[in-house]
Structure 1
């Protein structure tokens, strides 16, 4: 991509202004013609309605105004299924539980992630996740799953608790914080110990955190369309990725040579072997590094943001805060003061508060797949459409969770909607904060335990007062977190 961009720059720079204008007009005309042809050649069956706009560029304009506005307009004018032309592609949205089952149930041979998420390859690295074929990716996801079994989660809980206790022990008797910043720091520390390894947490944390931040900065909106574009943040991303690979290669070799074992995800990947592909070999150092980065990116921001939203909503709703505090007293009476796996698993009130925060503000506004085969959908009003092969298909947890047919009074913060006998989340494909079906997030139990351990420490030791209203969501970010909000804490003991 970099070489091609250089060649195009030289070519364009050599054109005189009149020639440049003529070439631009020709390209625009060709784009309009191709764009129109794309939307008149559909497979048999009624196509989804297309949001009107300027051909070819109209979808880009609509996305530029903000995905939430696009969703509101599309759902309001077209209904649960609609298509937005974006340059040379079609993006078809499936909004609501009636039309989204195929999105979440279909296998990779029907609905693929690689074609829409391959912009992550420079960050994760070659040979992992979106840079491998389906069979190898399935094996790598199996390795993720094995690193997050119940027994593995039990081993990670002490690390969750240790990091939370140490972090909040440094707070004074009172102070003012921003939850988003606080939990971003803490979850990074927890991830370093449980995912990246003791060596990183105890010896290399600052260096690795800076390099991971460089990777994070290298994910900008342009990266989705041009992941190899020759821009400064991409150059920095590539340097950081190379240095991380060198750091982890040294740690992996030291563990393998010494035979020393640790209780972390890194160790699980070191021990893992392919079963049905690649001759049953172990993972290479580069593959392990890539998988660690992938699992970190999949969980770090989402967990820290959900931790922040949970606290903001509980602090703003005294009734639910008091119920969560009372539950902590009951848990202490039953299990003692230690936050064991069993104690955390028994915190149903806290679990519902976290789930409700996740319902109102899922971190990912859009999840996407690539349709490798055409498929039919029928809306709640009985309208049927055929989504063609080649469409990028998108669902929106945020928008769907705000539909009254999914949740009663959806704008209200009401954790009890998840409790018996209501259990509103049990309607198929209504609650998709962690995905659903075949594509449900394999790390959701890890996330719940991590967030519960943090809030258990806080509920037992602090009171909180919001100095600002519950903030709006920052829809300009790639992961949807809260805007700044000042929170006053006061230390106390249960």
Structure 2
């Protein structure tokens, strides 16, 4: 009888607890429902401010359009443009975010004055835990411009000239039959391309931009460190970079280990002294160790280490995703592969054993189809789909009745212009021949409109040399204005060298024999192929 009483009491307690839980969940559901109803009613019944851009309709307050934007940003942009025009506002995690599309929108945001727009406030929470303190967006803009000037030491024509040989060597070594990674030991096989290219581009970027000594410190485990750092670029870290999430803990460990690696190199060099030896390479670390800011202050060693991390990430990330996209596209176009191979044979010549002669930096301009293959891929697969700025003073949008208040964030999407038919006919068709200087009748209809019209490129010096303002161009894969990527030339050299080396060594195809290309993964700050993205490779007889 006592047992039955205990069971009865237990059931009563459970019923009571279940009833309480049901009430709590019901209350939450009611609150959410009311919030949605009020949010929708306010959008339908209340007139928006006629001096501000139209607000994109959304069901849920705070989250707004975040999910639909994050899943397919380009579809979101084009759908909104059709309904609201080139200028509109949407809710991104509780923040009113105003998008300005088209070349005028790009110019309005990317060439905005410092008194009006600010990049540091937007990106510092995201980049500082990855790069480290006191560099890039964790310092005043004037200091960033000085840092860019220091880094340009490694991006001169003479430096780029030496990089081609180094990058080609790293690429051949990575894909060799006897390579340590064993991925390409056979005559043919399949490979998850983004994973392989992430590792390769770390080696090429470190060897060229950062020197032999740095490259020798790296092995495949460094690719894992890079991956852990890269995962710090998740959208949630715009708001919660401090959150104790697993990826953030891995990010912080990787940042510390990479910083320690650079600091140990710098310390060793300081102890050895600055005297030059015959086998010393004049690399980026030596340069930064001897640089001073305008006020005469030497760059602190920890800042040098953090700048080297930023340089590695910047020099590697876009090249990693873009090289993957190029090879994925080529796997779907065997005709372009063979044209690229024939171009090298025709321009460079063939050795006595039938292999193609090595190319140099000076040969790259003589390989136009190779350059156009890179350019066309960047047009469709720009590494960054959205560029944001904080609004520091009310900004009037020329040609509209709108003024953007300081409570808004501005967003540019240069990739929209490069996917617009008025600028690039059949914009989603990947066709390197659309950039031909003298296109055939077949490809003339695809030629970029701004090249036909001879639009001049405006340039300005923001403190680290002349860069394109990009105000009139619909093709801006590296941004524009003061924050335009200074590694643009290096990226083109690296990508052309890697692709040129791969194409003479392998025939590429999709495993299923189709001409399909994988979808895009927008889950990070950067656009990249959705993994796994496998291709089939087969060694050429003579490479």
Give the TM-score, by structure 2 length. Answer: 0.78
Instruction: List aligned pairs for 1:349-388, cutoff 5 A.
Output: 349-378=369-398, 383-388=400-405
Map 1:137-216 onto structure 2 (within 5 A): 137-170=144-177, 171=184, 172-216=186-230
Q: Which of the residues 409, 415, 423 maps onto 1:398?
A: 415
Residues 38-77 of structure 1 mapped to structure 2, 5 A cutoff: 46-54=51-59, 55-63=61-69, 65-77=71-83
The partner residue of 2:427 within 410, 413, 418 is 410
- Cα deviation 1:150-174 (Å, max 9, x = unaligned): 1221232221121012112223332
Distance, in Å, in 1 between the alignment partners of 2:150 and 2:47 is 42
Cα deviation, residue 354, structure 1: 0.7
Structure 1 residue 350 displacement after superposition: 0.5
Is 1:266 the counterpart of 2:293? The answer is no
Distance in 2, Cα, partners of 1:386 & 1:111: 14
Distance 1:488 1:329 in 2: 21
Secondary structure of 2:344 counterpart: helix
**1:348 equivalent in structure 2:** 368
Q: Given the superposition, is the C-alpha separation of residues 263 and 334 from structure 1 closer, same or farther in structure 2, using an over 3 Å criterion? A: farther
Residue 480 of structure 1: aligned partner: 527
Which of the residues 477, 494, 502 maps onto 1:433?
477
Check 1:329–1:103 CA distance in 2 against 1; reply closer, same or farther (3 A cut): same
Normalising by structure 1, what TM-score?
A: 0.85
**CA 1:334–1:144 in 2, change beyond 3 Å: closer, same or farther?**
farther
**Structure 1: gaps of 5 or more residues:** 1-15
* Structure 1 residue matching 2:96: 3-state secondary structure: strand
Deviation at 1:451, TM superposition (A): 1.1
Q: Distance in 2 between matches of 1:205 and 1:394?
A: 38
Aligned to 1:447: 491
The answer to whether the aligner puts 1:322 opposite 2:338 as a matched pair is: yes
Bigger CA drift: 128-137 or 55-64?
55-64
Q: 1:307, CA displacement in angstroms?
A: 1.2
Give the CA deviation at 1:303. 0.5
Q: Which whole-Å CA distance do the structure 2 matches of 1:405 and 1:384 have between them?
A: 25
Larger % of helix: which? 1
SS in 1 for 2:105: coil
Tell me the C-alpha RMSD between the 2 structures: 3.3
Equivalent residue number for residue 228 of structure 1 = 242
Quick one: which of 94, 105, 110 aligns to 1:99?
105
SS of structure 2 residue aligned to 1:98: helix
Does the residue aligned with 1:463 lie in a helix, a strand or coil? Answer: strand
- Cα distance in 1 for partners of 2:104, 2:449 equals 15
Conserved? CA contact 2:229–2:255, under 8 Å:
yes
Q: How many corresponding residue pairs?
A: 468
